[in-house]
Amino acid sequence: VTTQTDDLIDDYLRRLAAALSDVPRARREELIEEIEDHIAEERAAMEVESEAQIRNLLDRLGDPADIAREESEREGLPEPTRRSHTMEIAALILLPLGAFLAFIGWFVGVALLWASDTWSTRDKLLGTFVLPFGLLPAVLFPLLSLGPEECRQEVEGVFVCEPTGTSAAIGIPVFAFLALAPLVTIFVLARRLQRGG
């Protein structure tokens, strides 16, 4: 009888260990030891040990999967410190738009970006250099690139006037890049914040 009941218990403990495979090793061993002590104490109190009694004991302990779930979940209980992402959200607003706030806002955004532990160094480099001053270059580019018109006298007394700046063929792609690059960066950083933070 003893070997059969031992088998039942061994099998239970094996299933428990398997269910706890995701739990850090030290804690897993501690919990299994607690359950072993529990079983030993129950058995010590039994006058005559029968298979039925052992089965009842294990039933009362519960499904190993339930114990594992209780160990790994904190569901239904408030987190000890619920992170709010005020700093990260401020960074995501200031990086594209901060340069319009007396120019200095962008630097504040960069400082917040680097102060946060949500993002990797790669993310922070992306946020800083794509693009410096956020959307400001996109706004300034059309103003600067057109330039003053320059007129020159062609042959036969005809005046031709053209902007001295960049032609539209180059200007439109450059403008699109300046406008889209910071937005893509913010999108990438926001995704990371949503997932990892």
Q: Which stretch binds other proteins (CB under 8 A): 69-77, 108-116, 161-169, 174-182?
A: 69-77
> Does residue number 79 form part of the binding site for other proteins (CB under 8 A)?
no
Binders in 37-56 for other proteins, by CB under 8 A:
37-38, 40-42, 44
Task: Give the helix, strand, coil percentages of the chain, each rounded to 5.
Answer: 70, 5, 25
Which of 6, 7, 10, 27 binds other proteins (CB under 8 A)? It is 27
Tokens 């007394």 — which residue? 157
> Does 64 contact other proteins by CB under 8 A?
yes
Check residue 138 for interaction with other proteins (CB under 8 A). no
Neighbouring C-beta atoms of residue 37, cutoff 10 Å: 10
- Which neighbouring-strand residues pair with 149? 163
Q: Which of 143, 22, 54 is nearest to 31 (CA)?
A: 22
- Dist CA 156 CA 165 (whole Å): 26
- How many chain residues bind other proteins (CB under 8 A)? 25
CB of 61 to other proteins, least distance (A): 4
Number of residues in the chain: 197
Q: Which positions touch other proteins (CB under 8 A)?
A: 16, 27, 30-31, 34-35, 37-38, 40-42, 44, 60-64, 66-67, 70-71, 74, 76-77, 80
